[in-house]
Amino acid sequence: MKKIRDYFLLIKPSLSILVVFSSVISYLLAPKVVEFEWKMVGLLFAGGMLVTGSANAINQTKEKDTDAVMKRTRNRPVAAGRMTQEEGWTFAIITGVAGLFILGYFFNWLSAGLAAFSLFLYGFIYTPLKKVNSMAVFAGAFPGALPCLIGWAAGNDQLTAGGWILFTIQFLWQFPHFWAIAWVAHKDYSAAGFKLLPSTSGPTKFTAIQTVVYSLVLFPVSLLPFYIGMCRFEEIKGMICLGLVILCNVFMVMRSFTLYRRMDVSSARKVMFGSYIYLAVVLLAYLLSKA
């Protein structure tokens, strides 16, 4: 049972579920998906969890030594020595291949190809880049946003404007989200040699203003699904959903601005948790107002 639990931890379930959630919502938003089919949603969820779990397993296996020096990660199975790096790699290969097969066989090979690209970017570009330069956050935002394109491609069989808009929303969202995490865990990350904040001096006004800027840019982009007709806003339900999206953006901008004013860990933590709420509510609002 302990071994099973360790394999479960290797997937990073809470992070993986959030990633797959955005993929499933994007799939359901695709124009060709006109009915909710539990079987297809379940298969997409399973394929996405396996691919995301593979990426996280690669991350933990490659970062064994750095995870061991950070308080928040030292109990991970590979870092703690409960699992060998060989076991981590084996698990990553098996889950990755299985997940890509599910996406390719049951949906299309476009979605599988995008998932494979995302897996490569996360495991072999973003992961090693974290110790080199803060541009790692920019590089990591691509695999972080690709689940939207993967879901859209799985449901639509091609990449169209709606999928790219969802990708852009999740791409921009990651900057205030991840910089808030890096602010809260700055001491841990610095001890491990990670360079994740935009300022080399750590949590500074420059970092905080960048968070505000990206939150502001995210605001108009998040309204594009209504502008292009992907989501309705004429009816009462659509107007409520549009209102929710606007309120979520105001909420995100205000939390980012509070971080800029106060410059403390508490405010950064509020941006971090607020960003989770933002993404979940906005994506569900899109789904409820689907044209």
Report how far apart, in Å, the C-alpha atoms of 288 and of each of 102, 218, 254 are.
Answer: 27, 20, 25
Residues 209 and 151 in one domain: no
State the average pLDDT for the chain: 92
User: Which residue(s) pair with 135 in the sheet?
Assistant: none
Q: What integer pLDDT is reported at residue 15 of this predicted model?
A: 81
Residue 24 has pLDDT above 90, yes or no: yes
Work out the average pLDDT over 41-47: 96
CATH number assigned to the domain comprising residue 179: 1.20.120
Tell me, yes or no, whether 73 and 52 share the same domain. yes
Placement of tokens 């594009």 in the chain: 224
Best CA proximity match to 257, nearest among 196, 188, 205: 205
Instruction: Tell me the pLDDT band of 284, cut-offs 50, 70 and 90.
Output: very high
Q: Are 67 and 153 members of one domain? A: yes
Q: Is the pLDDT of residue 197 over 90?
A: no
CB within 8 Å of 210: residues ≥ 6 apart: 175, 179, 198
Do residues 100 and 202 share a domain?
Answer: no
**Who wins on pLDDT, 233 or 215?**
215
Domain with 119 in it: 1-159
Domain boundary among 159, 192, 220: 159
**Confidence band (pLDDT; 50, 70, 90) for 137?**
confident
CA angle 118, 119, 122 (to 5 degrees): 80
- CB distance 130 to 196 below 8 Å: yes
What's the pLDDT tens digit per position in 169-186?
A: 999 999 999 999 999 988
Q: How confident is the model at residue 109 (pLDDT cuts 50, 70, 90)?
A: very high
Distance, in Å, from the CA atom of 182 to the CA atom of 244, rounded to the nearest integer, reads 28
The confidence score (pLDDT) of residue 119 equals 95
**How many other CB atoms are found less than 10 A from the CB of residue 196?**
23
* Among candidate residues 151, 62, 54, the one with its CA nearest the CA of residue 96: 54
Question: What pLDDT score was predicted for residue 225?
Answer: 96
Q: How far apart are CA 39 and CA 52, in angstroms?
A: 20
CATH of the domain at 91: 1.10.357.140
pLDDT at 79: 85
**Helix runs in the chain, H state only:** 2-10, 13-29, 38-62, 64-69, 85-106, 109-120, 127-129, 136-156, 161-184, 186-192, 205-221, 224-227, 236-262, 265-288
Mean pLDDT computed over 42-69: 91
117, 206: one domain: no
Average confidence (pLDDT) over 29-35: 93
The predicted structure's pLDDT at residue 188: 82
Number of domains composing the chain: 2
Instruction: Judge if 185 and 280 occupy the same domain.
Output: yes
| Residue 28 sits in the same domain as residue 106 | yes
- Based on the domain organization, do 150 and 189 belong to the same domain? no
- Tell which of 159, 192, 225 closes a domain: 159
Q: How many residues does the chain have?
A: 291
- Spatial contact of 10 and 88, defined as CB atoms under 8 Å apart: yes
Structure tokens at 42: 């379940």
The pLDDT, as a whole number, for residue 10 is 86
Q: Which residue has the tokens 């969202």?
A: 173
The pLDDT of residue 153 is above 90: yes
- What pLDDT, on a 0 to 100 scale, did the predictor assign at position 191? 78
Q: Identify whether residues 91 and 149 lie together within a single domain.
A: yes
> Is the domain of 253 the same as that of 204?
yes
Rounded-to-integer distance, Cα 66 and Cα 70, Å? 7
Picking from 142, 159, 176, the residue at the C-terminal end of a domain is 159
**Is the domain of 6 the same as that of 118?**
yes
Judge if 166 and 177 occupy the same domain.
yes
Amino acid sitting at position 192: A
Overall average pLDDT of the 161-172 stretch:
97
